[in-house]
Amino acid sequence: MFLKGLKEFATRGSVVDMGIGIIIGAAFGKIVSSFVSDIVMPPIGLLLGRVDFSNLYVNLSGGHYRSLSDAQEAGAATINYGVFIEAVVHFVIIAFAAYLLILQMNRLKRLPKEAGRQKTCPFCFSDISLRAMRCPNCTSHLGKEEENRPQPGYRVNIR
Selection from 109, 104, 145, 139 nearest residue 124 by Cα: 139
What is the domain-level CATH number for residue 60? 1.10.1200.120
Residues 67 and 101 in one domain: yes
- What is the pLDDT, as a whole number, of residue 29? 85
Residues 69 and 45 in one domain: yes
Residues 95 and 122 in one domain: no
Residues 105 and 122 in one domain: no
Range of the domain at 78: 9-109
pLDDT tens sequence across 97-119 = 888 888 888 887 766 655 567 88
User: Is residue 150 pLDDT above 60, yes or no?
Assistant: no
Q: For the stretch 41-55, what's the b/e string if a residue is b when 16 or more beta carbons lie within 10 angstroms of its beta carbon?
A: beeebeeeeeeebbb
Residues 81 and 139 in one domain: no
